[in-house]
Amino acid sequence: MDFLSASPYRTSPEQAADWIVSGGGGSVALLPETASPRKVAETLVALANAHGGVLLLGISASGQPAGLAAPAAVQEQAVAAALLAEPPLVLPLPEIVSLAGRALCAVHVPPGLSQVYSIKGQYLTRAGKENRVMGTAELRTLLIARGEGHFEAAIAPAAGSAELDDDAIARYLERLPGLTAASPASALLARGCLKGTPQGDVAPTYAGILLFGRNPQQFLPSAEIIAVRYAGTTMSDEFVREDIRGPLGDQIRRAEAFLTANMRRGMRIRGFTREEVAEYPLAVAREAVVNAVGHRDYSLRGDSIRLLMFSDRMEVYSPGRLPGHVTLDNLLYERFSRNEVIVQVLSDLGFIERLGYGIDRMIAAMQEAGLPAPRFEETAAGFRVTLLGHGHDLVSASSTAQRWSNELLNPRQEQAMAFIAEHSRITNSAFQTLCPDVSPETIRRDLADLVDRGLLMKIGEKRATYYIMK
């Protein structure tokens, strides 16, 4: 928007009075008419690099509405001050507001601006009522969030191509016929998982390490999911925990397995009828996890994705605030990805349906299940999705057992199902221990049959394979 156009903002005298009474803060700055162009520019830059807000000119040092001697001149000065920013800060036309017979100038800085601004080489943000210089890490995070830098696209220091899992790459390329003709290296270069170096070589990017690394946590220790199931409504000593590490695709699969194994199932009474339900719609719970993995800020160290299950709710926390121009107000219809490479590869790997599920569809699925809409929150350094489940409305958790009791299972399969009911999962070797006189091939057929019937879900590959109830 250009300065010569009309402002989309309409500030009422009541709003201006409220801002003055508040004394200013992170999103409201109060300055006198005599403030220098440099001070005005610094304040506008700080608001722009924070979350937007308003600068109100014509306020005395004591915080009272002193008014403006020359309102039109102050408007022009505000425009000129904004243009001192690097790049020039283009804002709506400043407003003249009348309060108790005194003219004030309101300069609005919209939220969600797509660039990062500086003044004379200084990158500023708001700290309470003051402007402050941003730290290096803070600035880097903001640049990434606003699309001026992408952490995932940077080369992972000290990482070589040997850090990537050739088998995982081969399985990935098999899913993409268009890339199979290319060499693995050229395919990964095209996807952004490898990057050329100044020395003429190629090296893995952080995205490549996270998606195909043999041990991604060697380079990004906090790139993990901490999954915990608590017995009650608060954190306690009674819990089941799994620290989920490895490449991102494996993390998603294992998180889904954790959800499936630890989600309560039972009977809910509606009127005079009993219906079998799960604690949460599984598609919604999966979507929350997949979005956390695909969109978290991997540049933030020392914090992990947290999947916390309580008796009355489930919380999925992801490090990093909403990216780019996305806010809580426009979350339903705006899209911005800070990890374009990661999201693309997760899409290629078959998670596209979940990534594209959409918040509107999450809300609809929760409502269809008779549950409140998901709650979305921004914290100081992250984003949290909370699902309120059926909780104590589940009068019995034995429906799973009832489901398989009606199936025509052989005695070995009944043993396997009972083992899973007690231990949450079963492996081929554990099944073999239950049935030592049966051949490994029979064990595999029994498990495959349970998968085909829709009673079990297979997780992992080769020696890492295990089975959980579906």
CATH number at residue 130: 3.30.950.30
pLDDT in tens, 10-39: 889 999 999 999 998 889 999 999 999 999
Query: 409 and 379 in one domain?
Result: no
Contact in structure between 212 and 169 (CB atoms under 8 Å): yes
Contact in structure between 258 and 227 (CB atoms under 8 Å): yes
Q: In the prediction, which pLDDT does 354 show?
A: 44
Q: Whole-number mean pLDDT of the chain?
A: 85
Query: 349 and 454 in one domain?
Result: no
Task: With respect to residue 21, please indicate whether it lies within any of the assigned structural domains.
Answer: yes
Contact in structure between 274 and 268 (CB atoms under 8 Å): yes
Task: With respect to residue 177, please indicate whether it lies within any of the assigned structural domains.
Answer: no
Q: In the prediction, which pLDDT does 400 show?
A: 44
Among 134, 156, 189, the domain-final residue is 134
Query: 375 and 443 in one domain?
Result: no
Query: 351 and 230 in one domain?
Result: yes
Query: 453 and 329 in one domain?
Result: no
Residue 380 to residue 49: CA distance in whole angstroms:
15
Query: Closest Cα to residue 466, out of 261, 287, 215?
Result: 261
Among 78, 111, 134, the domain-final residue is 134
* pLDDT tier, 382 (very low <50, low <70, confident <90, very high otherwise): very high
Task: With respect to residue 182, please indicate whether it lies within any of the assigned structural domains.
Answer: no
Task: With respect to residue 5, please indicate whether it lies within any of the assigned structural domains.
Answer: no
Task: With respect to residue 155, please indicate whether it lies within any of the assigned structural domains.
Answer: no
Task: With respect to residue 251, please indicate whether it lies within any of the assigned structural domains.
Answer: yes
pLDDT in tens, 363-373: 999 999 889 99
| Full domain range(s) for residue 444 | 399-469
Query: 373 and 241 in one domain?
Result: yes
**Neighbouring residues of 359: CB distance < 8 A, sequence distance ≥ 6:** 331, 332, 374, 376
Query: 339 and 362 in one domain?
Result: yes
Residue 313 to residue 307: CA distance in whole angstroms:
11
Among 393, 423, 451, the domain-final residue is 393
Q: In the prediction, which pLDDT does 434 show?
A: 87
% of residues, the chain, pLDDT over 70: 88
pLDDT in tens, 384-436: 999 998 876 665 444 444 455 556 788 888 888 888 877 778 999 999 988 88
Query: 384 and 251 in one domain?
Result: yes
Segment 263-268 shows an average pLDDT of: 72
Residue 5 to residue 9: CA distance in whole angstroms:
12
Beta-bridge partner residues of 124: 133
**Neighbouring residues of 3: CB distance < 8 A, sequence distance ≥ 6:** 79, 82, 90, 91, 92, 93
* pLDDT tier, 239 (very low <50, low <70, confident <90, very high otherwise): confident
Task: Assign residue 409 the CATH number of its domain.
Answer: 1.10.10.10
Q: H or E element: which one contains 74?
A: helix 71-82
pLDDT in tens, 279-305: 899 889 999 999 999 999 998 888 999
Task: With respect to residue 219, please indicate whether it lies within any of the assigned structural domains.
Answer: no
Task: Assign residue 369 the CATH number of its domain.
Answer: 3.30.565.60
Residue 400 to residue 126: CA distance in whole angstroms:
54
Q: In the prediction, which pLDDT does 139 show?
A: 84
Query: 338 and 237 in one domain?
Result: yes
Tell how strand 305-309 and strand 225-230 pair up. Answer: parallel
pLDDT higher for 352 or 340? 340
Q: In the prediction, which pLDDT does 464 show?
A: 77
Residue 284 to residue 293: CA distance in whole angstroms:
14
- Considering 95-109, 191-205, 320-334, 401-415, the range whose residues carry the highest mean pLDDT is 95-109
Query: 115 and 44 in one domain?
Result: yes
Query: 383 and 413 in one domain?
Result: no
pLDDT > 50? residue 2? no
Query: 408 and 362 in one domain?
Result: no
**Neighbouring residues of 439: CB distance < 8 A, sequence distance ≥ 6:** none
Q: Per the structure, how many domains does the chain have? A: 3
Task: With respect to residue 98, please indicate whether it lies within any of the assigned structural domains.
Answer: yes
pLDDT higher for 398 or 154? 154
* pLDDT tier, 158 (very low <50, low <70, confident <90, very high otherwise): confident
Query: Closest Cα to residue 396, out of 233, 221, 265?
Result: 265
